[in-house]
Amino acid sequence: MIFRAGALLLLLYALGFALFGVTLGEPAGAEKTDSVVVLTGGPGRIERGVEVMREGAAKRMLVAGADPSVTRADLRRRLGAKSASVLRCCVELGSESVDTRSNAEEAGRWLERRGYRSLRLITSDWHMRRAEYEFRRHLSSRYTVVPDGVRTKPRLTTLFGEYNKYLLRRLAVLLDM
């Protein structure tokens, strides 16, 4: 009986992982939001945020979890001259957060200060499920969250690690930890 229960749990875990791997976060459409929140930590995220801002799909952008030593000038050098006007007027660097949960908390305070009610959440496709979970959990129904996953080619180990983080976070919330 214990063997069967263990086998069933292992099968559910494997099927969940397979589903997780084939349903990564997708890029969002042209939907407008009040703001953009970009989570640091992966290639293409800030570039996608700036692209959304240049298209006029949001008013301001928060780069959550930025290293305190990073400046707008650093971003301008990285992104080039065509992004200078967006960086100058509309981008804020947030350095209060250190993980996905604190990204959501930092963004919530920023949204509240600005009076915004909707955000486009930009992160890597493999990170989107957990990030969206944390943001929806922290921000509740007060805010509209539009997920915008940056396409990547994640390694199997990256997917495996992220799947486990996602499951453990859901379990921790379920157990009120």
Secondary structure letter of residue 141 according to DSSP: G
> Is residue 3, in this structure, part of any structural domain at all?
no
> Is residue 5, in this structure, part of any structural domain at all?
no
Beta 144-150 vs 91-93: how paired, if at all?
Answer: unpaired
Q: What is the pTM of this model?
A: 0.93
Strand, coil or helix: 61: strand
At 101, give phi and psi (nearest 5°). Answer: -65, -45
> Is residue 18, in this structure, part of any structural domain at all?
no
- Whether pLDDT at 29 is above 90: no
* Inter-residue contact 107 to 62 (CB < 8 Å): yes
Average pLDDT, the chain: 94
Q: Among 24-33, 104-113, 120-129, 157-166, which is the least confidently predicted range?
A: 24-33
> Is residue 16, in this structure, part of any structural domain at all?
no
* CATH (domain of 104): 3.40.50.620
Mean pLDDT (whole number) for 128-132:
97
> Is residue 14, in this structure, part of any structural domain at all?
no
pLDDT in tens, 104-116: 999 999 999 999 9
> Is residue 38, in this structure, part of any structural domain at all?
yes
Mean pLDDT (whole number) for 105-130:
97
Q: Residue 146's CB: how many other CB atoms inside 10 A? A: 18
Instruction: Give the Cα separation of 73 and 120 in Å (integer).
Output: 24
> Is residue 167, in this structure, part of any structural domain at all?
yes
* Inter-residue contact 20 to 129 (CB < 8 Å): yes
> Is residue 131, in this structure, part of any structural domain at all?
yes
Instruction: Give the model's confidence band at 120: pLDDT under 50 very low, under 70 low, under 90 confident, else very high.
Output: very high
Please name the residues in contact with 70: beta carbons below 8 A apart, sequence gap of 6 or more. 93, 95
Mean pLDDT (whole number) for 15-28:
94
Number of separate domains in the chain:
1
pLDDT in tens, 40-84: 989 999 999 999 999 999 999 999 999 999 998 899 999 988 888
Secondary structure letter of residue 152 according to DSSP: -
Mean pLDDT (whole number) for 80-99:
91
Handedness of CA 27, 134, 53, 41 (dihedral sign): negative
% of the chain at pLDDT higher than 90: 84
- Whether pLDDT at 1 is above 90: no
132: left (phi over 0), alpha (psi -120 to 50) or beta: alpha
Q: Which domain holds residue 90?
A: 25-174
